[in-house]
Structure 1
Amino acid sequence: MDTAPPRESGELTYRDAVAADVSALVPLIESAYRGDTSRTGWTTEADILHGRRTDPEGVLAVITAPGSRLMVVERDGEPIACCQLEHRGEAAYFGMFAVRPDLQGGGLGRRVIAEAERSARESWGAREMHMTVISVREELIAWYERRGYRRTGQLSPFPYGDERFGIPQRDDLVFELLVKDLEG
């Protein structure tokens, strides 16, 4: 596992998750994506996917996989956001991004993604950041585009029938690759 030392930024602390964080991170991730709690924020998938977004095994796999990190963002020792970073050659993959719903819309997500990009560039020499977003999430894709990400038109199928990813409420879900140049 690649690790980075904790880094302070204003009132926020950024650090790599450890196995002991799983019990706090699973409900944070779930709250940002699924169920009624997620509707407090604007990033909910509750209308297109039911069921869970992740589970303890999935979060632990991200924490322990070689070339992978789960960055935890804390305020006063409490996890309020997280994101996955995975080293993929000259690129880094950004995923499992969650901001506590009652803190969405105030610039925290913007700060977290900027820190993730900085970290991937400095730790791994990443030249690009890649992510996949469900293509019908137009408002979320627009948010990423305002952060410098571009749609590639490269689509991959949604894993229908695999409830580890949720229970789809529509039949047109696909992932689209978004890319951002981290150089310059």
Structure 2
Amino acid sequence: MNEWFTIDNVEHLAEQYKRLGPFIGVLFPMLEAFLPFLPLVVFVVANASAFGLWLGFLLSWLGTVIGSYLVFLLVRRFGHHPRLKRLTGGERVQSLIRWVDMRGLSPLFVLLCFPFTPSVLVNIVAGLSNIRKKFYFIVLAAGKFVMIFSMSFLGYDLRALLTSPVKMILAAVAIIVLWALGKLLENQLNKRVLRDLQDTDSSKK
């Protein structure tokens, strides 16, 4: 395994990926929006390494925005269908929908900026809320811009990353920090959701 994972082999894979064309660079991040178990960070790094920082970033950003917005539109159109109640009728989802309707777009933008927050949940909640389509698209595009660019910047120069222990350590630290901040933000928002909803319910009594 270690013999295979060399700089030359990784660059060869990036070159093969590039030969598949820009369409693949858009397609894979778009599919991740529907299949969240797919590794978005791998697709973003592959795009940045194969097509360069700016074009690779653009392809990844377009793909994830298109895919996420399609999920949002599908949920907006079919989310209240009885057969989808198991997906959309959970207590957590319903609480988040109520809270988003109360608080607006700002919390969604913050969540979308972090690569390790559950963006598929954000898209579902937004689709079931009363947020207007054009406003969510703007917030989605802006949040994903921040997220995808940070990931592209970390991974666009694989040779420099793999040959420099300092850069590799810094990249690993950056990923860990982003993950930790994302989890902290998610936990804080969950607590805030519960507190705000409890306060709202109490005021109605």
* TM surpasses 0.5: no
The higher radius of gyration belongs to 2
Higher helix fraction: Structure 1 or Structure 2? 2
**TM-score normalized by the length of structure 2:** 0.26
Higher strand fraction: Structure 1 or Structure 2? 1
